[in-house]
Chain A
């Protein structure tokens, strides 16, 4: 009888250690450092990793620490020399859960920043990074030696601090990748003739530094999506064969400086996109990790069951639900990652703390005292659903009334947009949770807000009177035929997605935006460039630094915001993608809380956060 297939909750032997599960929580920018110790791993890091360990993660890779001080890619980028106490605290916090802790170690080379060091960037060759445009200084022999010894010293320190090992970065944002790639390595010395030399030297030095008792992981770019000069899977396979004796596990990733968004893409890229490459890359003796938008337990389980992967990296899925492994073990469904990247991509000049659209980590889910008085939740959009779930889990009697005939609020219509389909899973998850909790959901009910009694008002926003069809109405009801102009003062991505859908239906579409690009809000998600490509290829006309100033008899008048020059665009239909507004409603009172878009129309993240926060207030 064949053995049971491997599942993600099973332990896995990695080198000389055993991880409690086969799920890895990968390195990511958090910006949760204490600003007084900006390059150390602080108490909030410990909490961040402890939560995933407690939830069943088998391996945690800490936020990448720079191995030399002149690599300072973002303000709160950890520096290995300042991380010893943080690594120790994280290892101590995770050890009770049989979670292995690997210290992420790296150097970002030409993808770093000169803003904090005020010195030049260092790279294999004087090739400017496409993002910053900054020309780096070429690393000389002394500089290379400092990088090698920096990796070795940092690895020794991490293991000394109690980490189970290290993960060496040769993936996105990595000097070691830049040395491996013909895109960025144009040297005429030994490190150019043999582009894998530096990686081999670093891994050799790291292995010497940590000995045989610690794990050495490698995060390796295996496809730079630039076959004319970049790393290809074939070349990566050769690199892996060369270093196989030095590493215990490898995490293949993809993307180069030309395609940063491809490394952790949003939902426009189907999940599990690296799985087909794993067979080609597998070398004996090295555990294979599947990374790349693995967000569903079923997909992860399949990759493990077939033996394609030994471990799965589910970073964003564990941001959405820290208890992912524990829930799957128990047969429950974790809160689904929606792959919008709106809150978890923290590598942004404003230093946002890592967050999550659906998890609202700023308001921790906690068990609160039961209060018997029932609560009426008005509205079954994300704010109301989260509030109802929070209340019901505390044992509070909840009744949810929803005017429409189904749950989800605006998400029902947003989920019909390309790249936003996974919001339907979120709504489905909420309704499943509420059903399991026995919450009464009444549809088609327009509630009178009672003058007394405990109420959570989550009725969403209303359309603002203006020019053309409000975007919410367009999503819900569709549009009459003919050319469409979308007036998009917000640029949060909804208008971009609607434009794509309309163009896909064969319409003539233009999108008008006041800024230098359409969809500027997509910068945070990593989809900004790809969105421009999709719009251009779909034939959508992008009219930037402009606003719609008139609309009549089938055409819209558009004015340049700087010069004032006007043009006209065919527009049988004008869609107003500007913000909605909060409805007039009852004033908050001690036992009535208004949440989400009914306060001010914003995003799902605010809806979830406020729904949970208000529910906790009602329970306290």
Chain B
């Protein structure tokens, strides 16, 4: 990993290694100001070895507010927050730059209650609001705003500024003939404000992913035109309000999918170039640099999932991998909620808990902990308890770890889910957890040797009442586990909010079945939208001929099987015959009565998602403080 460990000069300063933590939304701002959470969050990645941290965007105009928690960099009150971020990152030897930007027409008046200033009067496809086209005096005001915020960045002691012209940017929205002069004016204003001793970079859009949109050639042209004025060039693909899955690709998209952009830019300019693109392992990051596609590699989600990604990458250690589930980083942020991480429950809570919560609690009294159930909740509980110094036994009824997650990972495009199981199992082994497979805990005496019992027994599939007694009506888990092989015309009933139905539909369609899905919801596969999986699913469904129906409620079923289906919009009931019916619905908590006090975590408390399982398991493991909670 020596290439990643090489320092790299960025204008006046040197980054200690090649791993950057690029800008991304966190929703950690309060009242449009940076917070202690920002400082702790970035500080944790610096502590974890990152060479360069770039903050989330700081807006250069108070009226620019497409989302609630965007920092208004023009407010002088940001300076103490910037100072705290600088101190937190510098304490661990990394550089930290602030990203500055203006969202232009990719915004709304919901918060500002003022007209949206755009490059033209075309409504953005996400915000659907017609902007007021900015005239030249407006552009001059914008340039001044960049200068003001850059002054705050310098006053706060940050090491540099990155000017965003990529995912959500007025500069990107402008026609090239207006964009370049504006960008040059902005760069001059920023340089004026930060002086020669700080770094000035620019992030350029290299592939908007829309017909007629910008391409890598456009990024190259702009990079060459501004090269003399910047210390580095960062790159990006995708438009935040139009082609978001390109920016934050979900599970199934290969590492390096965006490498064509930094490669093209790096071939044309002499300043260092940052590349991004779903690098989730140290090896992928190394390959990106080694292949010559970039000088620094941007790893966002990989460092959210494992704050020590960089340090581990440099010493060749194994990381807890990002799986691209997007459940907590992308989906939550899209809903105006604080960023989190399904596999790293500490992410987004660094200020409250400290970045390495578990290690700070390692002095709690030793206890003998029995964790029942080897799914993600049980594994997370075992790892967290062991990290706190407890003696942990993990008892799994089946002959493999992973629970429902291992099953879900069998579906097409969902294979990376199993990385969570293997990473947690690896950590458990390293920490000396005793894992007992095929170990059934059914009574109080089975727990006699434990001071604390954590119940992580998950949930069991639950078919609806209408399915009882019918042949060829099965649960999705029956299909994924290979207990049945539906063929012919298969109706998949999506009665849950997960990937279960789409995963199974795809698996069966790929095996040659004719698959029709139905859901009572207004939108088919709606659960896949917040994590940005839905668009890729729609393409695959179209290729496989999967037909999706919405607004359908199953009222009953008869042998055949034939479903009686209500179209609840129209109020009409019709028979739907099929060769097989596969049901995907919420399971029922599995709660064995052991007769001893237990801590319930994950699906056995309430069936939810992966993030809840790992979060509750981790919290249970970390909260064991007494030698015995069996009082």
Interface residues, chain A, CB within 8 Å of chain B?
A: 34-36, 75, 114-116, 118-121, 126, 128, 132-137, 349-352, 362, 489-492, 514, 516-517, 520-521, 528-529, 532-533, 536-537, 545, 560, 562-563, 565, 578-582, 599-602, 606, 609
Taking a contact as CB atoms under 8 Å apart, the answer to whether B335 and A579 are in contact is no
Asked whether any CB of chain A lies closer than 8 Å to the CB of B244, the reply is no
User: Using Cβ atoms and an 8 Å threshold, which residues of chain A touch B336?
Assistant: 75, 349-351
B597 to chain A, nearest CB (A): 13
Q: How far does the alpha carbon of A121 sit from the alpha carbon of B606 in the complex, in Å?
A: 8
Taking a contact as CB atoms under 8 Å apart, the answer to whether A349 and B335 are in contact is yes
Which of these, B109, B110, B132, B605, contacts A137 with CB under 8 Å?
B605
Q: How far does the alpha carbon of A137 sit from the alpha carbon of B131 in the complex, in Å?
A: 45
Taking a contact as CB atoms under 8 Å apart, the answer to whether A516 and B67 are in contact is no
Q: How far does the alpha carbon of A565 sit from the alpha carbon of B496 in the complex, in Å?
A: 29
**A contact face: mostly helix, strand, loop, or mixed:** loop
How many of chain B's residues have a CB under 8 angstroms from any CB in A? 50
Q: How far does the alpha carbon of A489 sit from the alpha carbon of B124 in the complex, in Å?
A: 10
Taking a contact as CB atoms under 8 Å apart, the answer to whether A135 and B608 are in contact is yes
Instruction: Tell me whether A516 and B116 are in contact in the complex, defined as CB-CB below 8 angstroms, given that A133-B497, A350-B67 are known contacts.
Output: no
B101-114 contact mask (Cβ, 8 Å, vs A): 1 or 0: 00000000111010
Asked whether any CB of chain A lies closer than 8 Å to the CB of B196, the reply is no
Residue ID in chain B nearest A524 by CB atoms: B110
Q: How far does the alpha carbon of A320 sit from the alpha carbon of B504 in the complex, in Å?
A: 50
B112 to chain A, nearest CB (A): 10
Instruction: Tell me whether A565 and B542 are in contact in the complex, defined as CB-CB below 8 angstroms, given that A133-B496, A137-B606 are known contacts.
Output: yes
Which segment, of B7-15, B54-62, B73-81, B519-527, faces chain A?
B519-527
Residue ID in chain B nearest A580 by CB atoms: B130
Taking a contact as CB atoms under 8 Å apart, the answer to whether B527 and A563 are in contact is no
Supplied contacts A134-B608, A349-B336, A492-B128, 11 more A-B pairs, CB within 8 Å: A114-B612, A120-B608, A126-B589, A133-B496, A133-B497, A136-B606, A349-B337, A350-B67, A362-B113, A537-B571, A599-B115
Interface residues, chain B, CB within 8 Å of chain A?
A: 30-31, 67-68, 109-111, 113, 115-116, 121, 123, 125, 128-132, 332, 335-337, 340, 496-497, 522-523, 526-527, 529, 535, 538-539, 542, 551, 567-571, 586, 588-589, 605-608, 612, 615-616
User: Using Cβ atoms and an 8 Å threshold, which residues of chain B touch A75?
Assistant: 336-337
Taking a contact as CB atoms under 8 Å apart, the answer to whether A490 and B128 are in contact is yes
Taking a contact as CB atoms under 8 Å apart, the answer to whether B571 and A563 are in contact is no
Taking a contact as CB atoms under 8 Å apart, the answer to whether B605 and A516 are in contact is no
Taking a contact as CB atoms under 8 Å apart, the answer to whether A490 and B123 are in contact is yes
User: Using Cβ atoms and an 8 Å threshold, which residues of chain A touch B605?
Assistant: 120, 137
A563 to chain B, nearest CB (A): 4
Taking a contact as CB atoms under 8 Å apart, the answer to whether A581 and B539 are in contact is no
Residue ID in chain A nearest B541 by CB atoms: A563
Residue ID in chain B nearest A34 by CB atoms: B31
User: Using Cβ atoms and an 8 Å threshold, which residues of chain A touch B131?
Assistant: 600
User: Using Cβ atoms and an 8 Å threshold, which residues of chain A touch B123?
Assistant: 489-490, 578-579
Q: How far does the alpha carbon of A579 sit from the alpha carbon of B127 in the complex, in Å?
A: 13
Q: How far does the alpha carbon of A67 sit from the alpha carbon of B30 in the complex, in Å?
A: 25
Q: How far does the alpha carbon of A133 sit from the alpha carbon of B335 in the complex, in Å?
A: 16
User: Using Cβ atoms and an 8 Å threshold, which residues of chain B touch A517?
Assistant: 522-523
Q: How far does the alpha carbon of A351 sit from the alpha carbon of B337 in the complex, in Å?
A: 10
Q: How far does the alpha carbon of A350 sit from the alpha carbon of B608 in the complex, in Å?
A: 23
Q: How far does the alpha carbon of A474 sit from the alpha carbon of B89 in the complex, in Å?
A: 59
Q: How far does the alpha carbon of A492 sit from the alpha carbon of B127 in the complex, in Å?
A: 11
B403 to chain A, nearest CB (A): 16
Which of these, B109, B606, B607, B612, contacts A602 with CB under 8 Å?
B109
Count chain B CB atoms within 10 A of each CB in A121, A136, A536, A537 and give the residue with the most. A536
A82 to chain B, nearest CB (A): 16
Taking a contact as CB atoms under 8 Å apart, the answer to whether A537 and B606 are in contact is no
A562 to chain B, nearest CB (A): 5
Q: How far does the alpha carbon of A490 sit from the alpha carbon of B523 in the complex, in Å?
A: 18
Taking a contact as CB atoms under 8 Å apart, the answer to whether B128 and A563 are in contact is no
Residue ID in chain B nearest A595 by CB atoms: B115
Taking a contact as CB atoms under 8 Å apart, the answer to whether B569 and A602 are in contact is no
Residue ID in chain B nearest A536 by CB atoms: B569
A133 to chain B, nearest CB (A): 3
A139 to chain B, nearest CB (A): 11
Residue ID in chain A nearest B587 by CB atoms: A135
Q: How far does the alpha carbon of A537 sit from the alpha carbon of B568 in the complex, in Å?
A: 10
Residue ID in chain A nearest B131 by CB atoms: A600
Taking a contact as CB atoms under 8 Å apart, the answer to whether A600 and B31 are in contact is no
B333 to chain A, nearest CB (A): 11
Q: How far does the alpha carbon of A103 sit from the alpha carbon of B483 in the complex, in Å?
A: 56
Residue ID in chain B nearest A529 by CB atoms: B522
Taking a contact as CB atoms under 8 Å apart, the answer to whether B529 and A516 are in contact is yes
User: Using Cβ atoms and an 8 Å threshold, which residues of chain B touch A514?
Assistant: 125
Taking a contact as CB atoms under 8 Å apart, the answer to whether B527 and A133 are in contact is yes
Closest 10 CB pairs of A and B: A133-B497, A536-B569, A137-B606, A120-B606, A563-B542, A600-B132, A349-B335, A579-B130, A600-B130, A516-B523
Which of these, B109, B110, B527, B538, contacts A350 with CB under 8 Å?
B110
Count chain A CB atoms within 10 A of each CB in B111, B129, B606 and give the residue with the most. B606
User: Using Cβ atoms and an 8 Å threshold, which residues of chain B touch A350?
Assistant: 67-68, 110, 336
User: Using Cβ atoms and an 8 Å threshold, which residues of chain A touch B527?
Assistant: 133
Taking a contact as CB atoms under 8 Å apart, the answer to whether A120 and B110 are in contact is no
Instruction: Tell me whether A532 and B608 are in contact in the complex, defined as CB-CB below 8 angstroms, given that A115-B335, A115-B337, A602-B129 are known contacts.
Output: no
Residue ID in chain A nearest B117 by CB atoms: A600
User: Using Cβ atoms and an 8 Å threshold, which residues of chain B touch A137?
Assistant: 605-606
Taking a contact as CB atoms under 8 Å apart, the answer to whether B608 and A489 are in contact is no
Q: How far does the alpha carbon of A602 sit from the alpha carbon of B68 in the complex, in Å?
A: 20
Which of these, A128, A537, A565, contacts B570 with CB under 8 Å?
A537
